[in-house]
Structure 1
């Protein structure tokens, strides 16, 4: 608990909460459940009995804004997880103060997706949904995308705008479910941040996502790294090219601040029309552009240099690692100098710390730092801990400016 009694924080304690009693000794510290605005359980392992006890406490937390349930099923069998998750999520169905739900890093796979559907369709107050690294697969991806699509339609039926602002769903093997996500995005018109790297999405699905997001005119953060903007896999339709859809969509995103399309089979021919769109001068907020491993060359850099200097005044980070003709190129040197003059950088080296552009964990901006809970009953052996905090600072910097229901 923090000093004001509004944050219940067990994160990172390495607790093994198996039974009701294991959880209850911590829940007993809560004097006024209705005052709790944040609950953080990440970095522990929670069994069915403990989840039931926590779920009962959640029923009384009617001011809850942040529910952090990331990385809470270490060493749990897939047979346990759906029941535990249901105990944690059912009390949130009508907690309409809820703004941020983080379920990342649980790797619970396809069979847990139906457990999420009631919450995603019933509680339409959530602004930030983090489902990063869940091993969902395309079947579960379709289930969840359809649930979010239904959610937006239900909001419209009640003459309400959809509330979802940020979706973080990278590293999930979403593959052909991308078409369902594009459909969902087309009705979630208030989206400001979408993070979908490393999902095995082919070019036709890439295009569906981009076309759906064209309706999100307040979009500020888009990460589609390591998917296919154009098919280059043997056996796939080589004529499928979705880069024209992204070029067209750029005109709909005047507030775009972060764009990562690295490792997406971008070519100089595909990128040239995008540069022409950026040269229109309508993207004065763009501060980060990630183009790693895109086969760009000196001709591309010649076209880019003037745009970087004159048409993208906010650009502070341009990443070109693993492209061609980077060494001793006069146009690259011009861009390096232009960004250094404004306090930025051109990234030419792929040996960056951690996953530089990966944003696996949402950190609530302006969240009050909580005092750690009491000592754990039982610690998870260190070799079994699942903890990935390498990119938390990067995410906070990238998303802190989004309007997340504050």
Structure 2
């Protein structure tokens, strides 16, 4: 090796040594430190070692006097930057914890340290513990804070509010000092934050705008709190990890989170497993994630009461994500046949290996028994007006003086009425997709989007089938076709798979809409009901189509409340006439329809 090479090598080694972290670890020693004598080994290590970048005390239990001794030893270490103090107060009284935290924080404040990582996870802080942390969090020591870990700290709504205020003050103080806060990682799972705590933290996230990871699973947050958080997530465009596993989004919460994805194109990990998204929530997510998000590596939507339709739509949404390595849909309501179809569909994708095993899927019927079809199967939320909460704007000062309501934890239950319960527009928009309609002429896409907006304009079979809204009797009578049934089938047959099926269903409903006022429309509705179930039986989708019709006709409660534009009484009338036909479907389908229809007469 030449002298020049040796020289370069030496300088490189020195640079590596300067950047290498040096610290002290007493991790998992299971020590009980009550006083200065008990913690003598830690203090000696701090006094002996000239450079201490981190101190790991994880897995021990620290008392007040012992914390004071460690704090004093920390005075000598302005280079200190990582406080790894998780699981440090086991069996300690609640009045000991804030005092111990004050002593540790005071030591770093006196040293003039510049902290980058603070980990206090797995400590029973609660609001009481936060009183010992607030001053420290506002101090210059935390102006450089990049990662904050408060997982499983029992903060509760009040502790969440206290944390929020402290971090907002920290941001203000750091900015005024000319060293803007650059917090990147925020972890606060298993803290029972509930809606009130979530709303408080949403204000903090709006102020920070630098977060790359937000991990807040298992916090009993419902759609009201989710809506507040969603508005704040949008203000953090550099988000790479978003984890709200095991909170209760429901369909409304899912819709709010789906809006976030447009504003966070750098997302690599998305975890909303066990969030009760339901099928409609899956549609919202799929539609939002299909475009862009090419950096996505993990998508966890397991255990969400998503049925087969939602699973397929999600597969379509992720098929062009080249970096996807984990795609979890396990524990949803696909049934055996649906699971096989999803696996088969995913197998066609280049990222097929990302799909995790579907070992714990349940049938759609089991999902319904467990409340999978009811977005309101939660305890009432008495804290806020839902509409006002869902429509929160980005005003950072909104509700600043709002008091914590201990009942603010759950969703409001809707009152029953005669409204239909249908899937959201995201479903039909997603399935009417050009990729499955290779035979369709180019102008079909515009017809789908615009529908039939001019009542006076003559209606064509194409417009009738592809419009998303029912037609008037005048439009029906003006149809430019000698054989309307044949004309409808000519349009529908241009589409395949789910698009074909949806066109059959909605063309049937459009005819059923007019069945009580037009014998011709009634005859067409009967024929189309028959054609739909012929197709369903042929493709082994009887249960799926049966349930979908029951939902569209307002006979079976679905995930999201929606006022149908169709005359449901007229559509049901056509169905009653259809099931009288001997050739209609099979006895199981007939009897099921008859059971639901008879309930209306009771």
Q: Is the pair's TM-score, using the shorter chain for normalization, greater than 0.5?
A: yes
- Give how far 1:335 is off: 5.1
- Give how far 1:300 is off: 1.5
Corresponding residue to 2:328 among 312, 315, 319: 319
Counterpart of 1:236 in structure 2 is none
Corresponding residue to 1:222 among 242, 250, 256: 242
Matches within 5 A, 1:20-31: 20-30=36-46
C-alpha distance in 2, partners of 1:109/1:189? 26
CA contact (8 A) 1:102 1:130 kept: yes
Counterpart of 2:207 in structure 1 is 187
Report how many aligned residue pairs link the two structures: 337
C-alpha distance in 1, partners of 2:185/2:21? 28
2:101 aligned with 1:85: yes
C-alpha distance in 1, partners of 2:360/2:118? 32
CA contact (8 A) 1:315 1:339 kept: no
Over 6 Å off, 4+ runs? none
2:145 aligned with 1:126: yes
Given the superposition, is the C-alpha separation of residues 152 and 272 from structure 1 closer, same or farther in structure 2, using an over 3 Å criterion?
same
Aligned to 1:324, the other structure's residue is in SS state coil
2:226 aligned with 1:206: yes
Aligned to 1:295, the other structure's residue is in SS state coil
- Give how far 1:107 is off: 1.1
Aligned to 2:76, the other structure's residue is in SS state coil
C-alpha distance in 1, partners of 2:260/2:351? 30
Corresponding residue to 1:39 among 23, 39, 55: 55
CA contact (8 A) 1:178 1:201 kept: yes
Given the superposition, is the C-alpha separation of residues 156 and 301 from structure 1 closer, same or farther in structure 2, using an over 3 Å criterion?
same
- The two structures, once aligned, show a CA RMSD in angstroms of 2.2
Matches within 5 A, 1:91-170: 91-93=107-109, 95-122=112-139, 123-158=142-177, 160-170=179-189
Aligned to 2:83, the other structure's residue is in SS state strand
**TM-score, normalisation: structure 1:** 0.78
1:331-367 CA-partner distances (Å, limit 9, x unpaired): 411355357866533242359xxxxxxxxxxxxxxxx
Give the unaligned 5+ runs of structure 1: 232-240, 352-406
Give the unaligned 5+ runs of structure 2: 1-19, 362-602
CA contact (8 A) 1:301 1:331 kept: no
Counterpart of 2:308 in structure 1 is 298
2:307 aligned with 1:288: no
Given the superposition, is the C-alpha separation of residues 125 and 339 from structure 1 closer, same or farther in structure 2, using an over 3 Å criterion?
farther
- Give how far 1:309 is off: 1.7
2:74 aligned with 1:58: yes
- Give how far 1:6 is off: 2.4
Counterpart of 1:235 in structure 2 is none
Query: If each structure's helix is expressed as a fraction of its own residues, which one has the higher value?
Result: 2
C-alpha distance in 1, partners of 2:149/2:83? 11
1:202-248 CA-partner distances (Å, limit 9, x unpaired): 211111112111111110111111112138xxxxxxxxx23222121
- Give how far 1:150 is off: 2.1
CA contact (8 A) 2:198 2:229 kept: yes
Corresponding residue to 1:328 among 333, 337, 341: 337
Given the superposition, is the C-alpha separation of residues 40 and 341 from structure 1 closer, same or farther in structure 2, using an over 3 Å criterion?
same
2:27 aligned with 1:11: yes
CA contact (8 A) 2:184 2:212 kept: yes
Given the superposition, is the C-alpha separation of residues 158 and 85 from structure 1 closer, same or farther in structure 2, using an over 3 Å criterion?
closer
**TM-score, normalisation: structure 2:** 0.53
Aligned to 2:101, the other structure's residue is in SS state helix
Higher relative contact order (CA 8 A, sep 6+): 1
Given the superposition, is the C-alpha separation of residues 149 and 159 from structure 1 closer, same or farther in structure 2, using an over 3 Å criterion?
same
C-alpha distance in 1, partners of 2:246/2:326? 19
Given the superposition, is the C-alpha separation of residues 326 and 187 from structure 1 closer, same or farther in structure 2, using an over 3 Å criterion?
farther
Aligned to 1:26, the other structure's residue is in SS state helix
Matches within 5 A, 1:358-397: none
C-alpha distance in 2, partners of 1:350/1:125? 45
- Give how far 1:154 is off: 3.0
C-alpha distance in 2, partners of 1:38/1:159? 25
Counterpart of 1:390 in structure 2 is none
2:265 aligned with 1:248: no
